[in-house]
Amino acid sequence: MPVMEYLERNARLYGDEVALVELNPAVADGRRMSWKEFSLIESNTFAPYRREITWRVFDEKANRCANLLIERGVRKGDKVAILMYNCLEWLPIYFGVLKAGAIAVPFNFRYDAAEILYCAELAEVDVIIFGPEFIGRIETNAERLSKGRLLIYVGDNCPSFAESYHIMIDNCSSLPPMVGGITEDDFGAIYFSSGTTGFPKAILHKHRSLTQAAQMEQHHHRTSREDNFLCIPPLYHTGAKFHWMGSLVAGSKAVLLKGTKPEIILDAVSKEQCTIVWLLVPWAQDIVDTLDRGDIKLEDYKLDQWRLMHIGAQPVPPSLIRRWKNYFPNHDYDTNYGLSESTGPGCVHLGLENLSKVGAIGVPGYRWECKIIDEDGAEVSKGNVGELCVKGPGLMTCYYNDPKATAEVLKDGWLLTGDMAMQDAEGFYFLVDRKKDVIVSGGENIYPVQIEDFLHKFNKIKDVAVIGLPDRRLGEISAAIIELQPNVECTEDEVNNFCLDLPRYKRPKKIIFADVPRNATGKIEKPALRKRYGADKLVALENRS
């Protein structure tokens, strides 16, 4: 069944129950404020900063969105991009796109103007729905983006180059749209990923993938009607959205939280009585570090109902989980491995019952198969290292309009992940290294070539290589190894100032002045650099911590 049918079922069975809550502790009366200040707001002024909708309203909003798109000419198979921060409108719009028979195309909200244009053209997007934070980035290329596309703005004070979502939707029916039967074999979504070059690939999925991800999440974490999922990461990310879909399948409540500070997270869990929380490694590290320092005290919060903490998006240091269990001994724990090509996390997962195997990424997920192969494609025996491959109903159809790249990673129904792994005697999989050069810092992908290309514009730099170095909080940080032009002096401050034109998360966190080794064909010898600077065994280093 297409995943929209779960929403319609919930509206019928649980229509008056709360489906989604949006918490925004950072803004009140037009100014930023602390979570403590936010918590002290009088109850009668609390509503603007805590919004909620029921399952019935959720479904009606999705219907209105679908009918709006259909009225504006969107047809089955058209592609609708969503470029918004997490908010109460995000998921109803996503489901409205699906109900219209269109293909949902979530955009990373970190994209700059050029990346937005590139992805819109790569995925052949027909509509872009965007929020107020992105007016400037859309306006930069508004003439090209609006050519043959509909630009829809969600927010107050609609810019002249777009149409107002709120004005248009007021006149749209809340009844289900009149669209021909949508099946699991229809295309449902395009997500973006990148290889080591940093150029995004458009990953095409059928509705079958979305349904598989939702059912798998509910199965893995035993999500029930009594659960309440706290969602903090961005909804454009397959991880956040498909972890939330476990709540969709269960018909249970979820909270969208804007804020990652320990006191914000714990206060939200306490006040909203959340039972399941998905964290990135830095947020979990911050919580235990803050508890270690005594800056916050667990007895100030109501946390008895919190039953599960799970982590994904990057390798998890076992030492972190040991520290976590000291403070939360009754928590179940899971870690999730996946790719956008496998509809996000869960094709491999640790499992709630396998706490003794912390350090492993786990076993094949619900309805998934895994194997490890050598360079010739032959399956290796347990204990040997090779490339991890996965196979299951959540596998992508292809890289959109890129048959060559598709053929490189899809082999006889298996996805070659690019990650090197080994399987122990008990059948648990462990990541050993990454075949790709992508740096995963705080759950976000950083693509070295993008930074290298930028730094090559600096006239004092002869050559540059960017690698990931181990970091206790973020998993990895980016380090730039810089070879200067002959007889030229340069300081770290000069390089850092030059990098101010990069987005903050792409700026190198460490500068190293040294020669950049290249092989006979001109390729940077990054394995040698990783070995030299202690990053060649990143996962092994974390597992020994």
Q: Which of 92-106, 408-422, 513-527 has the lowest mean pLDDT?
A: 513-527
pLDDT at 34 over 60: no
Cβ atoms 395, 342 nearer than 8 A: yes
Mean pLDDT of 242-259: 96
Q: Sorting pLDDT into bands at 50, 70 and 90, what band is 30?
A: very low
pLDDT at 239 over 80: yes
Strands, DSSP E only, in 435-501? 439-441, 444-446, 461-471, 475-484
Q: Which of 41-55, 87-101, 220-234 has the lowest mean pLDDT?
A: 41-55
- Percent of the chain predicted with pLDDT > 90: 71
SS3 466: strand
Domain ranges of the chain: 439-543
At residue 159, what are phi and psi to the nearest 5 degrees?
Answer: -70, 160
pLDDT digits (tens, 9 = 90+) for 385-396: 889 999 999 999
pLDDT for res 181: 87
Nearest of 449, 509, 500 to residue 476 by alpha carbon: 509
pLDDT for res 523: 67
pLDDT for res 45: 39
Residue of 230 and 37 predicted with greater confidence: 230
| CA distances, 262 to each of 38, 141, 285, 394, 410 (Å) | 15, 38, 9, 34, 41
Rounded CA separation 462/488 (Å): 10
pLDDT at 106 over 70: yes
- Helix (H) or strand (E) run with residue 94 in it: helix 90-99
Residue of 394 and 36 predicted with greater confidence: 394
Cβ atoms 236, 81 nearer than 8 A: no
pLDDT for res 169: 94
Q: Which of 74-78, 100-104, 451-455 has the lowest mean pLDDT?
A: 451-455
pLDDT at 96 over 80: yes
What SS3 string covers 254-271?
EEEECCCCHHHHHHHHHH
- The residues near 5 (Cβ < 8 Å, ≥ 6 apart) are none
Specify burial of residue 224 (Cβ count, 10 A radius: 0-12, 13-18, 19+): middle
Specify burial of residue 336 (Cβ count, 10 A radius: 0-12, 13-18, 19+): buried
Rounded CA separation 440/316 (Å): 12
pLDDT at 541 over 50: no
Assigned CATH class of 439-543: alpha beta
Greatest extent of the chain over all pairs of C-alpha atoms, in Å = 74
Q: Which segments of 200-252 does DSSP mark as H helices, in order?
A: 207-220, 238-250
Residue of 310 and 180 predicted with greater confidence: 310
